[in-house]
Amino acid sequence: MDTPAATFALGAIWFAAFLFSTTLHEAAHALVAWRLGDPTAYHGGQVSLNPIPHIRREPFGMVIVPLLSYATSHWMLGWASAPYDPTWAARHPRRAGAMALAGPLANLVLVLLSGTAIRVGAMMGSFTIPEQRSFARLVEAQAGGAADGIAALLSVFFSLNLILFLFNLLPLPPMDGSGVVQIFLPEEVSRRWQLTMRQPMLGLLGIVVAWRVFGYVFTPIFLAALRLLYPGA
């Protein structure tokens, strides 16, 4: 049975993973935009792994909502954003598409790193597969103690970043996937696509549709990822 101390400790792990993952996501957007000619986010201090500039821009989505969602459901939900110049995006739609893709790719890197650490720990005998698995308990430590915290942190990093990677790649506004589409479109079509995707009501509809379809996308990919983590199990 979870104690209040254990619930608080797991919440701290979730928040640390969420804060770092969203910061890296937005910093990747900002870095690619800056390198491709749009310094807007750079001047806002967001080409940085320091979470403060990102929190300052989205305090509600990066702090308040994640903490409230964990307190009510033991699940962490939130958002962040990086500014960009729409004029630059209209002039260079493929560059804007590359900027959009950078955030999800940053999350994929964290999936691969945490998954590799889990596999290495399992091969060394430091981690075992628990009978009851969850997003925060993909593996557990043989030694217990502080090692349990490391196992939980790696589990959360893996699960959370796989969610962020896949959810943000859905080709629906306001997710990054709607911008990634621009990489594959002719420039004039891409400019019209940008204008369409910026419609507020379309963004609201995109969020509703994304929540309804995401489970169908995520579940088979998550199960495939678990088979890679637990080969032969």
Cβ count near 23 (within 10 Å): 22
pLDDT for 178 equals 94
pLDDT at 163 > cutoff 60? yes
Whole-number Å distance between alpha carbons of 203 and 233:
41
**What is the rounded average pLDDT for all residues in the chain?**
93
Cβ count near 49 (within 10 Å): 9
pLDDT for 73 equals 87
Percent of the chain with pLDDT over 90: 76
pLDDT tens for each residue of 10-33: 999 999 999 999 999 999 999 999
pLDDT tens for each residue of 84-122: 999 999 999 999 999 999 999 999 999 999 999 999 999
pLDDT for 116 equals 96
Alpha helices (runs of H) in the chain, residue ranges in sequence order: 4-35, 40-43, 51-57, 59, 65-73, 86-91, 93-123, 146-168, 177-180, 187-197, 200-229
Domain edges within the chain: 4-229
pLDDT for 82 equals 95
